[in-house]
Chains A and B, each alone.
Chain A
């Protein structure tokens, strides 16, 4: 099967990107190099093309209540222009996808993973009532501008953008193009996600990368950045065989929904919130310099496999190997010593809190 091209394909090639197949598309893995791109995002601002992701509109009478039958979020308290992280759940409480859902006027705007979007749409169509309409916005491209200087860059183009708080969005004029901009992202840094019509996305990409703070960033650094930020990647750290509680995503189960249930797998998930799970996703620091990657085994003291590494790599900021793994709940405590096995070699590691590198979101008001 050949890979489809995204709207910015020629734009990436003109900037020297190395392209790889990802989620059925040809996508940029890197431009100048993963390490340099990673550090640039932590210090300045990087532009990511995430147009492979699915952008959906869920509209029609009863959309809010209907969506609540599939997501564990409390949409009744989601204010206009606010977004939250949520999970599309299967009847047994497994994670079908993780996503962002925004209340936007008379509808909900949802961003889902690229590799799972077709399945998500089918699942939504099957399970939402006929009065609720799903529009897959294939004509929209999606960019992410991430890093501490992202706000400076966007504020020079549309000053009002600086007033957005973390997990808040709005419509803004970017050089004559109406864009939906939210203060959100997948790097742990302050930053924005920008939805624009595909036919003008190269102009927006030029506008942003024309600023001295901004460089284009590939998927390689996107992965190492999200790993440092402790953010799970669907299809690797999460799948239909994983529940939100096993995945340590209990925060995605809203208070009212925990009390009332009414979402897929509610009995199991609420039970796990109270009684715990057999395994749990944790962050791991590995001794030495060699990365331990997805697929490595977590071993007990007798050499039995008791868990697995689901994401792992070398942290450019910590200059050390880090990983996410599912381990027995008894070991899911800070400082617990564990052994890992990869290609016949044993590694010593310990459980440490995530994020590995602190988040620097622009949270408004008291606390953080």
Chain B
């Protein structure tokens, strides 16, 4: 299982042709207290860089973009009842959605953990 990162602060964990997507710990820290999350429904097609989910803090609404293209398999229903999971466990239980990758080549556009850390430090 390999984890990749985007410049929009999403992470995507790859296991075969299945991807799990969430937002990074840095992103949740910037957003502050999360009060609402809207995840895509199974069957939805998302495209790399396109809007895929919505996350709202007390202060503002933000879009979450799909790090890679594919068909959504599952949205994390736990976030509907407890959006604060994104704050407390952003890179584990606070995942947003799972999808079936349509193009593995898109992973080349993403950062690995070291590259993402350097990117955040430069912000």
Residues of A within 8 A of B (CB): 29-30, 33-36, 38, 220, 224, 289-291, 293, 313-314, 316, 321, 343
Min CB gap B85→A, angstroms: 14
Most interface-central of A38, A314, A321 (chain B CB within 10 A): A314
Min CB gap A342→B, angstroms: 9
Min CB gap A226→B, angstroms: 13
Check if B33 sits within 8 Å of A33, measured CB to CB: yes
Residues of A within 8 A of B61 (CB): 291, 293, 343
Residues of A within 8 A of B116 (CB): none
Residue in A closest to B56 when the chains form the complex, CB atoms: A291
Give me 12 other A-B pairs in contact (C-beta within 8 A), A35-B32, A289-B83, A316-B33 excluded. A33-B32, A34-B32, A34-B33, A34-B59, A35-B58, A220-B32, A220-B58, A220-B59, A290-B38, A290-B56, A313-B59, A314-B58
Check if A314 sits within 8 Å of B32, measured CB to CB: no
Residues of B within 8 A of A (CB): 32-33, 35-36, 38, 54, 56-61, 80, 83
Min CB gap B65→A, angstroms: 15
Bound state CA distance, A177 and B94, in angstroms?
50
Check if B36 sits within 8 Å of A316, measured CB to CB: no
Residues of B within 8 A of A33 (CB): 32-33
Residue in B closest to A30 when the chains form the complex, CB atoms: B32
Bound state CA distance, A278 and B56, in angstroms?
33
Check if A289 sits within 8 Å of B32, measured CB to CB: no
Task: Among B56, B58, B80, point to the contact of A34 (Cβ < 8 A).
Answer: B58
Check if B58 sits within 8 Å of A290, measured CB to CB: no
Check if B35 sits within 8 Å of A289, measured CB to CB: yes
Bound state CA distance, A29 and B38, in angstroms?
25
8 closest Cβ contacts across the A-B interface? A35-B33, A314-B35, A34-B58, A290-B36, A289-B36, A314-B58, A291-B56, A220-B59
Bound state CA distance, A19 and B33, in angstroms?
17
Residue in B closest to A316 when the chains form the complex, CB atoms: B58
Residues of B within 8 A of A36 (CB): 33
Residue in B closest to A221 when the chains form the complex, CB atoms: B58
Residue in B closest to A219 when the chains form the complex, CB atoms: B59
Check if B56 sits within 8 Å of A224, measured CB to CB: no
Write 24 A-B pairs (CB below 8 A) sorted by A numbering: A29-B59, A30-B32, A33-B32, A34-B32, A34-B33, A34-B57, A35-B32, A35-B33, A36-B33, A220-B32, A220-B58, A289-B35, A289-B80, A290-B38, A290-B54, A291-B35, A291-B36, A291-B61, A313-B58, A314-B35, A314-B36, A314-B56, A314-B58, A343-B61
Residues of A within 8 A of B80 (CB): 289
Residues of A within 8 A of B83 (CB): 289
Bound state CA distance, A289 and B80, in angstroms?
9
Residues of A within 8 A of B32 (CB): 30, 33-35, 220
Bound state CA distance, A291 and B33, in angstroms?
13
Bound state CA distance, A29 and B36, in angstroms?
20
Residues of B within 8 A of A316 (CB): 33, 58
Min CB gap B123→A, angstroms: 14
Min CB gap B11→A, angstroms: 22
Bound state CA distance, A35 and B61, in angstroms?
16
Residues of B within 8 A of A38 (CB): 58
Residues of A within 8 A of B58 (CB): 34-35, 38, 220, 224, 313-314, 316
Most interface-central of B36, B59, B80, B83 (chain A CB within 10 A): B59
Min CB gap A350→B, angstroms: 19
Residue in A closest to B87 when the chains form the complex, CB atoms: A33
